[in-house]
Amino acid sequence: MTTAQTAPPVLEAEDVAVHYGGIKAVDGFGLRLPAGKIYGILGPNGSGKSTFLAAVTRLVPLTRGRLLIDGREYHTESPTMLARKGLARTFQTVRLLPELTVLENVQLGADTNASGGRLRSWLGRDKPSEAVEEAIERTGLGDVRSAWPGELSYGMARRVEIARALAARPRLLLLDEPTAGMNHSERQEVSELMRKLRDEGLAQLIVEHDVQMMVDTCDHLVAMNSGTLVAEGSPSEVVSHPAVQEAYLGKRWRSHA
C-alpha cells in the first residue's frame, strides 16, 4: 500500500477467464479501475476485448476468476442488478430501438434509475428528466431529439448510445468501440466529453481500436492479446512496448504527440 487509496476500486477483475467450446477467449486477464479515471483496453481483432466486457457486464459467464464492484464480488449477479448499481455500457453495434425517437431512446437509459421509486417510473409523468436533458446536451444531440434512429448517421447514432448510457447517471461507464465510424472531429468531441466526465468523478473503461484516441484520452492502458494481459501502464509506456507493437502486426507505431 503506497498512496492513500482507502476506497476499493470501482471495478476490479481478477484472473478472469472465459472459455467456451474449446476456445479460450479470455484467459487470465485482470484490471483495477478506480473512480475518476479512464482506463483503456488495447488489442487487435480477436484479442478478447469484447468478450471481457461481456463478462464484466455479466452477459456471459466466467469460467474462472472474480469480478468486484466497490470491493464486493458480483460474478453471480444478473446484468439487471449491475445496471441498478450504476453500471452503464455501450455496445459494439448500434442498438437503438427503431420505433423510439432519439429522445425516447435516451429516456430509456434514465428509466432504469428513475428517482421517486420504481412504480412511479413505470406509470409516471413523461417529462424528460434533468439527467436526460443533460445527456442530450452534452452529446450534442439537441437538434435531433425527435428524429428516428433510421434518420441518423452512424456517428450520431453512436452518440445517442453514449447519451443513453449517461442518462442513467452511472458510476461506471463501459464503452465498446464508441468512436467507430465517427469522423475526426466527432472523435475529439467524444474524447473531450470523456475527460470531462472523468474530472467529475466517473470511472470509465473503454475498448477501442483507434490507438491515437486511446493515447489522448486514457489515463492508463491495458494491452490485451489472445485473452491475456500483455502490457500495462501509462499510454506512452504501453504503446512503445515491443509486444504491443508486434501484436498490431508488427507496425511500428509512433506517438503523434
183 scored as a contact of other proteins (CB under 8 A):
no
Contact region for other proteins (CB under 8 A) — 47-55, 185-193, 218-226, 238-246?
Answer: 47-55
Q: What whole-number distance in Å separates Cα of residue 160 and Cα of residue 162?
A: 5
Assess contact for 211 and 183: CB atoms under 8 A.
no
User: Which residues make Cβ contacts (< 8 Å) with residue 154, sequence separation at least 6?
Assistant: 94, 181, 182
Query: Site for other proteins (CB under 8 A): which residue of 11, 13, 67, 157?
Result: 157
Contact region for other proteins (CB under 8 A) — 69-77, 104-112, 134-142, 218-226?
Answer: 104-112
Within the chain, strands assigned E span 11-20, 23-33, 38-42, 64-69, 72-73, 87-89, 172-176, 203-208, 220-225, 228-233
Query: Site for other proteins (CB under 8 A): which residue of 7, 64, 71, 78?
Result: 78
For 13-64, give the DSSP string.
EEEEEEEETTEEEEEEEEEEE-TT-EEEEE--TTSSHHHHHHHHTTSS--SE
23 scored as a contact of other proteins (CB under 8 A):
yes
Query: Site for other proteins (CB under 8 A): which residue of 121, 212, 226, 228?
Result: 121
Contact region for other proteins (CB under 8 A) — 48-56, 133-141, 190-198, 210-218?
Answer: 48-56
Query: Site for other proteins (CB under 8 A): which residue of 9, 33, 57, 173?
Result: 57
Binding site for other proteins (CB under 8 A): 18, 20-21, 23, 25, 45-46, 48-51, 54, 57, 59-61, 78-84, 88-89, 91-100, 104, 107-109, 111-114, 121-126, 148-154, 157, 164, 168, 177, 180-181
